[in-house]
Structure 1
Amino acid sequence: MRLKKILRLIVLFYALYSTQNSFAFINHDSFRIVIDPGHGGPDFGAVFYDGSRQITEKELTLLLSQEITTQLRTKGFDVILTRTNDVDVPLPVRTALANKLQANVFLSIHINSTTNPASEAEGFETYILNNTTDESSRRLARLENQILSHKKKPASTELDVALILKDLQLDANLTESKQLACLVQENISKSITRFKQCKNRGVKQALFHVLLGADMPSILIEAGFISNEKDRNLILSDAGRKTLALAITNAIDQYKFQKNATNSENMVRISGKHQNLKNILALYKCKVH
């Protein structure tokens, strides 16, 4: 009896992948992803001095973004970077590019940091755009939002006005952004745990300006702390970046597959229950802090 259930499940998943005439599938080559390597040019982002050289967030985000791009393109995805070298790209321009290209997903890649020498802060976390009462998330958002442009107008005022204008779009994309963030966090957690112990800091929410203008599901990934030796060495190593990139690629692949299932108005039947994307994610027990 158990074997029959397993075989039935395999057949259902195979049908979802292969029966293109029955479902409204989004092919890999028509699923467009815009990847945004955080900071760049005169905006160094977080900085760490290891005694012999300066390590900057802007260089690490570009290296990791390039590896993610390689992994995604290997799977046939259409990928565009907001910057491919060390240049300054204003935050509104980054999401404007994603909107112009009608991207399906927007990923902003960052590296975390702490200036407290006594702090043992470590690990990775994924953010979605939403208000929060968590002070550490608000502090991080303020730090990332500091470099908006050369305008004298405070970033907080711009954010307040823009949020009012973007309310409807935010509501439409919030659920899918949560789903994508949960998949990214889960995949990174599983992959990095096998590679090297790193703390899973979970899915969080904050008012990141770089996510504000996006007209599609968007997330910001803080891929470890540059101020933490273990995290820093992971991101600096080729093997570490490949592990992170593969985890993020797998998450996007799963998100696209599950979105196809939702779009087709067909649900995977597991243990007598219809499982849509939200129910499947509930199996991960994913919560947004």
Structure 2
Amino acid sequence: MRTIRLAGAALLPWMATATAFGTVDVPVPVRLAMFGLPENLSPPAVRLGDECFLPLEHARKAGWKVELSGEKATVTVGGTRVAAFCRKISQQNCLPVRSIAESAGGLTEWTGDTSLVVCSRIKRIEVENASILVEGTLPVRAQFLLLESPRRLVLDVSPAKLDRAKPPTTSGSFRYSQFDSSTVRVVAELDDEPSLVKPVTGERTAKVFWRGAKSVKVSKIDFASQPPPEPFKIGGLLLTVDTPELAIVQIPVSGAANWRFSAKRDGNGVYWIDFPSAESLEDSNPREIVGSAVRSARVLPRQGGGYTLRVETAGPMGVRVGVVGPNLEVRFTKPRGAGGTLAGKTIVLDAGHGGRDAGAVGRFGEQEIREKDLTLAITKRIASILEAEGTTVVMTREEDTYVELYSRPELANSCNADFFISIHINSNTVVNSKSGTFTYFHMDVPDSRLLADCIQAEIARVSGLPDNGSRSDRTLYDTGLAVLRASVMPAVLVEIAYINHEGDVRRLLDEAFQQAVAEAVVKGLREYIGG
């Protein structure tokens, strides 16, 4: 056992020389489809775990502005500054593409084991009398074409995607759609033949303007003459890979192009994926399969219509769901940091706020309650339990001291931590209006999501408060939470209760409650590693 407690952001010498990425995966060359890059890169981008690392020289050629300070990196892409890190792979300084692109508001997707697509998320579309403007989150390119009967001007923007969860704001009369997997098409109807049509691209915008014609209200669509949209159908199950490190369940699908899917792990360790409007696709594949890493998977009728996929695995695994070719692919991966026991792990515990930053403030009778005091008390309890397990514990603070925001994850990165856990107390604008606990993970990172699920499930069992579940930090900000975004290991932020809810704060001040929550966090960690 080794216990290190740090007030402030000071690093010990052995930490400063540690690597900045905690996985032992072998780098695999991949194809990276991203604005400003040729198809074949030398040296290539590589995949490590669920991240894609791009050599620094290629990032700069793609227009990324990169400032390095040791292992720290500040990257400006599409006008957005992102705090990141740099890792040396095969003697090349490399940057984490997915983390940076998603933090800047972009969308990324593995379309196979060795192919990553990075797209701008379209935020705004405007059509005025003689122009079309499309704004995204990352740089894009633009192409146009003219069509007749009726006279139309078409603007294709790529690489770009529409996000159903965050549709673009619109102004004017036009049609738009996801034309293909990485192209958004905007169509404006014109009253005459245009002249001097010219496309222009800015840092995050694509615009085409013209003379000699005006945009008009788009023609009414005769829906009766249009072919109906292809219904979403799912077939049976195929277990194509079944190992402790990777398991893949495939389901033949049709009509899935405009759907997004996600898996939820319940408190019993069962994974669920809902298809609320799906129809059955007749095929010869079974509706239930059994295996080793995937103990069982079943397609079940869903109450209210559609189907749901229920999967039990031999142990906790990270999961990602996406459409690959004609199949829906559910990939289960052994999470980073899993295996062994807590005695072999290094865990950074972050007591939120501190010093001049009090965090949220509530009241209990005449007593003022400060978030920074509660987070420190609970974090110390977690540390004590982990120390008894033989864990190497690193605390970002052990007293009422102020720690810079980015210094917290940078400390975890520098000491090669297996996990980063940040403890916070929630608040909202209306007293006594919200109660309960939930846990944040970054974007849709499978490892961090699994860690959040495991910890949240254990806290929910003992807290006596409403279980608000685990959720992506993208629900708060487009770029997520800084302490999670900048962490390179599985990382979560736990909101234990509401400091301005009378029932919650009564529990927060109870030492037995604090101890129960601390034990639940550790139990969730044990569940994650399978120990």
TM-score range, shorter chain: 0.5 to 0.7
Structure-1 residue corresponding to 2:455: 184
Any idea what the Cα deviations from partners look like across 1:163-199, whole Å, max 9, x if unmatched? xxxxxxxx7xx1110111001111111122xxxx310
* 1:111, distance to aligned residue in structure 2 (A): 0.2
For residue 54 of structure 1, report the CA deviation from its aligned partner: 1.5
1:225 aligns with 2:492: no
Q: 2:494 corresponds to which letter in structure 1?
A: I
1:28 aligns with 2:342: yes
Distance in 1 separating the partners of 2:340 and 2:420: 16
* Counterpart in the other structure of 2:422: 108
**Aligned position for 2:48:** none
> Displacement of 1:83 after TM fit?
0.3
In structure 2, how many angstroms separate the alpha carbons of the residues matched to 1:217 and 1:64? 20
Instruction: State the structure with more CA Rg.
Output: 2
**Structure with greater proportional helix content:** 1
Matched residue type, 1:123: G
1:251 aligns to 2:518 (yes or no) = no
For 2:446, the equivalent position in structure 1 comes to 175
Match of 1:123 in 2: 436
- CA distances 1:83-102 after superposition (whole Å, capped 9, x unpaired): 00011100110001001110
Contact 1:64–1:235 (Cα < 8 Å) also in 2:
no
Q: Aligned AA for 1:251?
A: G
* Residue in 1 that maps onto 2:240: none
TM-score (norm 1): 0.62
Alignment of 1:50-65 (within 5 A): 50-65=364-379
Q: Determine the structure 2 residue equivalent to 1:134.
A: none
* 1:93 maps onto 2:407 in alignment: yes
| Aligned counterpart for 1:198 among listed residues 465, 476, 493 | 465
1:236 pairs with 2:503: no
Gap regions ≥5 residues in structure 2 = 1-313, 315-337, 474-479
In 2, the alpha carbon distance for the partners of 1:183 and 1:91 equals 25
TM superposition shift of 1:81? 0.8
Structure 1's 116 and 25: CA in aligned 2 closer, same or farther, altered over 3 A? closer
Greater strand content: 2
Give the structure 2 partner of residue 48 of structure 1.
362
Deviation at 1:51, TM superposition (A): 4.1
Query: Which residue does 2:119 correspond to in 1?
Result: none
Aligned to 2:488: 215
**Unaligned regions of 5+ residues in structure 1, if any?**
1-12, 14-23, 131-170, 259-289
Aligned 8 A contact 1:34 1:98 in 2: yes
Identity of aligned residues (%): 34
Q: Quick one: structure 1 residues 183 and 27, their matched pair in 2 at CA, closer, same or farther if it must change by over 3 Å?
A: closer
Report the secondary structure of 1:102's partner residue: coil
Counterpart-to-counterpart distance in 2, 1:111 and 1:34? 18
Classify 1:115/1:33 alpha carbon distance in 2 versus 1 (closer, same or farther; 3 Å).
Answer: same
Q: What is the CA–CA distance in structure 1 between the aligned matches of 2:456 and 2:391, rounded to whole Å?
A: 20
Taking the aligned partners of 1:101 and 1:44, their CA distance within structure 2 comes to: 27
1:65 is paired with a residue whose SS is helix
Q: CA deviation at 1:25?
A: 4.7
Aligned length: 190
Distance in 1 between residues matched to 2:391 and 2:487, nearest whole Å: 20
In 2, Cα distance between equivalents of 1:56 and 1:42: 12
SS in structure 2 of the partner of residue 55 of structure 1: strand
CA distance in 2, matches of 1:198, 1:98: 30
Residues in 2 aligned to 1:247 and 1:28: alpha-carbon distance in whole angstroms: 14
Give the 4+ runs in structure 1 shifted more than 4 A. Answer: none
Mapped pair 1:67 → 2:381: yes
SS of residue in 1 equivalent to 2:507: helix
Partner secondary structure for residue 91 of structure 1: coil
Report deviation, 1:50.
2.9
Name the counterpart of 2:246: none
Q: In structure 2, what is the Cα distance between the partners aligned to 1:202 and 1:77?
A: 27
Cα offsets for 1:191-229 (capped at 9, x unmatched): 22xxxx310001111111111210100000000001112
TM-score by length of 2: 0.35
Cα contact 2:451–2:524 (8 A) shared by 1:
yes
Could you tell me which amino acid in structure 2 is paired with residue 233 of structure 1?
Answer: R
Indicate if the aligned counterparts of 2:339 and 2:529 stay in contact, CA closer than 8 A.
no
**Cα distance in 2, alignment partners of residues 87 and 53 from structure 1:** 22
Q: Which amino acid aligns with 1:208?
A: L
Opposite residue 33 of structure 1, the aligned amino acid is I
- 2:391 partner amino acid: F
Following the alignment from structure 1 to structure 2, what is the Cα–Cα distance between the partners of residues 97 and 233? 33
- CA distance in 1 between counterparts of 2:365 and 2:344 reads 46
